Amino acid sequence: MRVLIGITGGVAAYKVCEVVSTLAKSGVAVRVLMTDQAQHFVSAVTFAALSRHPVYTDADFWSARSDHSDHSVYKPLHIALGEWADVFIIAPLTANTLGKLAHGLADNLLTNTVLASVCPVLLAPAMNTDMWQQATVQRNWQMLLQDARYHAVGPGAGRLACDRVGPGRLAEPVTVVAHITSLLHTSGRRDLAGKHILISAGSTREYLDPVRFIGNPATGRMGLALAAAAQHRGAQVTVVHGPLALELEATLPVGGRAIATTTAAEMEQAMLTCLAEADWVIMAAAVADVRPVDTAPHKLPKKDLPSQLPLDTVPDIVAQLTARRAPGQCIVGFAAQTGEIVAPALDKLKRKQLDAIVANPIDKPGSGFGSSNNEAVILSADGRQRQVVHGSKLALAHQLYDFLLEDFLLVSERQP
């Protein structure tokens, strides 16, 4: 996996340090090239240390570089780098470089390397709000995104370095790294374009009083990874989620729809309301099975807490979704299990008439609830299985989409 990172002259260049460091630590081969203006904000020495490789600048423009497959062949640096990269990211992308790319101009190492490459290019713009909102900048942006090579991450909105509040912030490093990871998996394919995917994420809370509730440790990371992977592959995404930590709220899909819920009843209503417009439904949330019969409107004193808590059964959201689905809709469930995971997942798959189910262990270190990683067995209604080894939840999300797309291809091949 080879990632080329182009850095242009913006104050947000400091945030790219975390992107480079994270990728390099994960085993990705990273090469950094910087414009002259970029070096006014962060030194080339910093990026060389973080990437474990010398940084390329305009001073190196006409230096020759050996081709990796044949060390007797030497090429200009911009051609060698362009051929080397699996993914090329430009962050921060300034208005100046955006304009050059939109019109096919190349006057430095970075822009020449873009034109000499054919890999996916991820654009992460960052600039003052008024600059970003200029009609000419927006025209260049839309023009560039018409080219299938180019993918966008951000910009976000908030307080900028100039104290202006509005759009123009560089996307957060965790978001940028996730998009790069997706592009490395898909090579830029938008194979979910045209699909609307409805995803549930996180846990639900069933309150006894305003401060006590029945819940579970689900954080929503898996559902949000599914949303990110789907959006990176071109899908329209709706996420119905339970309570999220602040850092996870920042990873909700930009440009998608997010519906916040707390209780199972609220999640049920939101999922059923959105069902009709969805092509695929993925129920990744860990929904409560029971709730207190009575909910107090104020905090109960400890002495008034019941010694036995009467409980009601929570309606089964997945069963309602499968019962109400339209022809052609695909519904996928999750089965978080301890011990043996396949048999109970197969039972749930058949009992709830799902198209597929993801069985994942929650009793293994570094997997399941609260972890950034997971492992699973994906099972389909037609008997196929896929083992997903321990890895990031984003990697699991992509393998699930690969599995579902393969399933639809098999169905198409079986039809006369």
Judged by average pLDDT, the poorest of 161-170, 228-237, 265-274 is 161-170
Give burial (CB, 10 Å; 0-12/13-18/19+) of 181: buried
Confidence (pLDDT) at 413: 40
Total-model pTM? 0.90
Instruction: Choose, from 119, 162, 274, 330, the residue flagged as catalytic.
Output: 162
Confidence (pLDDT) at 407: 66
Strand partners, 121: 88, 150
Estimate to the nearest angstrom the gap between the alpha carbon of 32 and the chain centroid: 23
Confidence (pLDDT) at 73: 67
What percent of the chain is modeled with pLDDT above 90? 76
Estimate to the nearest angstrom the gap between the alpha carbon of 205 and the chain centroid: 25
Q: Is 330 a catalytic residue?
A: no
Identify the band that residue 65 occupies on the pLDDT scale cut at 50, 70 and 90: low
In the block, which residue shows the tokens 């002495």? 303
The token pair that represents 404 in the structure block:
């579902």
Identify the band that residue 163 occupies on the pLDDT scale cut at 50, 70 and 90: confident
pLDDT digits (tens, 9 = 90+) for 185-221: 999 999 999 999 999 999 999 999 999 999 999 999 9
Task: Give me the residue spans of the domains in the chain.
Answer: 2-186, 196-414
What is the CATH superfamily name and number for domain 196-414? Answer: CoaB-like (3.40.50.10300)
Confidence (pLDDT) at 398: 97
Topology of 2-186 in CATH? Answer: Rossmann fold (3.40.50)
Identify the band that residue 70 occupies on the pLDDT scale cut at 50, 70 and 90: low
Say yes or no: do domains 2-186 and 196-414 share a fold: yes
- pLDDT (mean) for 371-383: 92
Confidence (pLDDT) at 63: 78
Rg, the chain, Cα only: 24
Mean per-residue pLDDT of the chain: 91
> Are 221 and 245 contacting, i.e. CB atoms less than 8 angstroms apart?
no
Nearest 5 degrees, angle CA 200-CA 313-CA 222? 20
- pLDDT (mean) for 89-99: 96
Long-range CB contact pairs, 185-188, < 8 A, 24+? 185/395, 185/398, 186/232, 186/233, 186/398, 187/86, 187/119, 187/120, 188/87, 188/119, 188/120, 188/148, 188/149, 188/151
